[in-house]
């Protein structure tokens, strides 16, 4: 498999606090990659970097073999390949259709093709016919699924999911889990986080563990302290 | 008391008769207020957005300055603009003094800090997930800010309406820069001031009622749009 992301000496600081410190990490294209770890371990920070939304404080990020330039013009093109679904996704005001149409319109999709994609995405998450519902009137689980459909509609090359199974009812969790499992076959690489390592247990793919911003190969192994000697240290391939 | 009641009766008859002087003052007021609030919004909304969405040194000082500018007296703005547009001023050659254009400039400067501050408040109060969501769905920075504006449009409308309320009700700028010229720069508020100084309450009361009706109508329209 081809390396999709490569991180070299990446750190992210919030004021004085070091939120993330990854000496080296390679994420290969395809499959499902899970990041587990407790709250505050840096999972969401890492997703923000992989989504090209927030730059690392230091270090280099390579995507598809090219070093990412944190400049607006190049980032827009990258963000159209990679979509992040936040843990508590925000739905825009208006209808479900308007929410799903936003990213498609930006990509120049119009008319029947756009409507077809929206209907198909909603069907995929079990919300067929929800197009004209008001986003603000949906239940928590429905909102999560609409946000998921909004990301799916864009057919991204990489889908980053921040705790997609948290805060949803059992039915929504089952639907989302099933859709995630089928994404690699559709050509989408999935990178998802969970604070509950068992939450990914029913999904295929490798699991990486983060503790206090440092990467470990597994929960019970030591974490890398930046010297490249422990755990997922020097050349971690996922 | 009879005097006030009588004035009220006369004022209502003036309104119903669509007295030309009254209509002219209402039109001038609405005309200069609308244009000045358009200019104030073109200036204030981008400033509010820029301050709210970016981090820069002295940001806190800029916010303090914007807050302070909201309290600048109308006569001070009148004086300042007068200095620029009077015959001896740098723009004296344009012949703006005692024209509606001069009032529009002064009122725009009066309303811009109000619009900017309220726009800034809307941006700071907006859900912090809006911009990242729009960006991760493929929006450029500009497209994402437009989406943010759409999401907080009621806050922005409230900012614009507050600016309108400020300029339609002010008298200092209109008097100093407009000169209260009948049929040209006479606004509702300058007529009220003039007629009251002459002891003629009826026309003043009529315009006061119309001023309140305008404020009420603007707010009703705003509420209606919010409900939709």
Contact A86 B143 (CB under 8 A): no
Q: Given CB atoms, is A93 within the 8 Å cutoff of chain B?
A: yes
A167 Ramachandran zone, left/alpha/beta (phi>0; psi -120 to 50): left
Residue A223: DSSP 8-state: P
Residue B126: which CATH number?
1.10.3720.10
Altogether, the residues listed in chain A come to a count of: 238
Residue written as token pair 């090209």: A52
Query: What's the burial of A58, exposed, middle or buried (CB within 10 Å: 0-12/13-18/19+)?
Result: exposed
Reply yes or no on whether the pLDDT at A220 is more than 60: no
Which residue in B132, B139, B151 is closest to A106 by CB distance? B139
* CA dist., res. A19 & res. B135, Å (int): 23
- Hey, what domains does chain A have and what are their CATH numbers? 3-237 (3.40.50.300)
CB contact under 8 A, A86 and B129: yes
From A86, A89, A106, residue closest to B143, measured CB to CB: A106
Inter-chain residue contact B132 with A53, CB threshold 8 Å: yes
Cβ–Cβ gap A103/B132 under 8 Å: no
Using CA of residue A14, residue A90, residue A106, residue A193, what is the dihedral sign?
positive
CB contact under 8 A, B136 and A106: no
Helix, strand, coil percentages, rounded to 5, for chain B: 80, 0, 20
Model pLDDT, residue A226: 45
The reported pLDDT for the residue numbered B50 is: 96
In this complex, how many residue pairs, one in chain A and one in chain B, have their CB atoms less than 8 Å apart?
Answer: 54
Q: Do B133 and A90 touch (CB under 8 A)?
A: yes
Low-confidence ranges of chain B (pLDDT < 70): none
Q: Cβ distance A50 to A22 under 8 Å?
A: no
**Which residue in chain B is spatially nearest to A75 when comparing CA positions?**
B140
Which DSSP string corresponds to A64-121? Answer: TTEEPP--HHHHHHHHTTEEEE-SSPPPPSSBHHHHHHHHHHHTT--HHHHHHHHHHH
> Cβ contacts (< 8 Å) between A150 and chain B: which residues?
137
Q: Which of A79, A151, A152 to mutate to test the interface with B (most CBs of B within 10 A)?
A: A79
- DSSP characters over B28-94: HHHHHHHHHHHHHHHHHHHHHHHHHH---TTHHHHHHHHHHHTT--HHHHHHHHHHHHSTTSTTGGG
Question: Does A70 contact B at CB distance below 8 Å?
Answer: no
A44 — contact with chain B (CB < 8 Å)? no
Distance between CA atoms of residues B12 and A52, nearest Å: 64
Share of residues in chain A with pLDDT > 90 (%): 71
Give A227's pLDDT tier (boundaries 50, 70, 90). very low
Nearest to A90 among B127, B138, B143 (CB): B127
Q: What per-residue confidence (pLDDT) applies to A13?
A: 95
Our count of domains for chain B comes to 1
Say if the Cβ atoms of A90 and B129 lie within 8 Å: yes
| Chain A residue nearest residue B141, CA to CA | A72
A-chain residues within 8 Å CB-CB of B135?
53, 79
**In angstroms, rounded to a whole number, what is the distance separating the alpha carbons of residues A31 and B113?**
53
Residue of higher predicted confidence among A133 and A204: A133
Expressed as residue numbers, the domain containing B179 is: 2-227
What are A136-149's pLDDT values in tens digits? 999 999 999 999 99
3-state secondary structure of A6: strand
Q: B137 and A76 in contact by Cβ < 8 A?
A: no
Per-residue pLDDT tens for A175-184?
Answer: 999 999 999 9
Q: Work out the mean pLDDT of chain A and round it to a whole number.
A: 88
Confidence of residue A219 (pLDDT cuts 50, 70, 90): low
Q: Is A92 on the interface with B (CB under 8 A)?
A: yes
Chain Cα centroid distance, residue A15:
25
Backbone torsions φ then ψ of A18, nearest 5 degrees: -85, 110
Give the residue from A76, A80, A87, A155 with the most B CB atoms within 10 Å of its CB, the best one to mutate.
A76
Q: Check if A53 contacts B (Cβ < 8 Å).
A: yes
| pTM of the predicted protein model | 0.86
């Amino acid at each position: 498999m081809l390396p999709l992301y490569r991180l070299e000496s990446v750190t992210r600081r919030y004021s004085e606090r070091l939120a993330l410190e990854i000496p080296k990490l390679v994420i290969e294209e395809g499959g499902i990659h899970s990041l587990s770890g407790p709250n505050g371990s840096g999972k969401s920070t890492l997703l923000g970097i992989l989504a090209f939304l927030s730059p690392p404080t230091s270090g280099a990020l390579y995507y598809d073999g090219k070093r990412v330039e944190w400049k607006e013009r190049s980032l827009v093109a990258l963000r159209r390949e990679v979509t992040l679904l936040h843990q508590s996704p925000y739905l825009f005001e208006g209808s479900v259709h308007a929410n799903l149409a936003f990213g498609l319109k930006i990509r120049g999709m119009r008319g029947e093709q756009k409507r077809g994609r929206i209907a198909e995405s909603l069907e995929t998450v079990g919300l067929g016919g929800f197009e004209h519902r008001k986003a603000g009137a949906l239940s928590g689980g429905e909102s999560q699924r609409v946000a998921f459909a909004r990301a799916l509609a864009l057919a991204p090359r990489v889908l980053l999911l921040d705790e997609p199974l948290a805060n949803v009812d059992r039915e929504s969790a089952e639907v989302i889990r099933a859709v995630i499992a089928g994404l690699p076959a559709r050509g989408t690489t999935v990178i998802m986080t969970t604070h509950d390592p068992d939450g990914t247990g029913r999904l295929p793919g490798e699991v990486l563990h983060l503790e206090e911003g440092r990467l470990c190969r597994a929960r019970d192994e030591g974490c890398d302290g930046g010297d490249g000697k422990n755990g997922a240290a020097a050349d971690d391939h996922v | 008391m009879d005097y006030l009641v009588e004035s009220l009766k006369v004022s209502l008859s003036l309104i119903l008769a669509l007295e030309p002087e009254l209509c002219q003052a209402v039109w001038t007021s609405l005309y200069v207020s609308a244009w000045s609030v358009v200019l104030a919004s073109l200036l204030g909304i981008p400033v509010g957005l820029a301050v709210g969405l970016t981090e820069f040194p002295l940001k806190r000082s800029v916010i303090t300055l914007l807050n302070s500018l909201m309290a600048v007296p109308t006569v001070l703005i009148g004086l300042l603009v007068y200095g620029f547009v009077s015959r001896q001023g740098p723009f004296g050659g344009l012949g703006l003094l005692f024209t509606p254009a001069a009032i529009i400039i002064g009122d725009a400067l009066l309303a811009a800090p109000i619009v900017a501050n309220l726009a800034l408040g809307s941006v700071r109060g907006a859900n912090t997930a809006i911009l990242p969501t729009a960006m991760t769905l493929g929006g450029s920075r500009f497209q994402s800010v437009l989406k943010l504006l759409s999401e907080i449009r009621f806050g922005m409308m409230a900012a614009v309406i507050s600016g309108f309320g400020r300029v339609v009700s002010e008298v200092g700028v209109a008097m100093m820069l407009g000169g209260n010229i009948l049929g040209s720069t006479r606004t509702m508020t300058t007529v009220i001031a003039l007629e009251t100084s002459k002891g003629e309450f009826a026309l003043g009361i009529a315009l006061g009622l119309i001023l309140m009706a305008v404020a009420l109508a603007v707010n009703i329209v705003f509420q209606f749009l919010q409900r939709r």
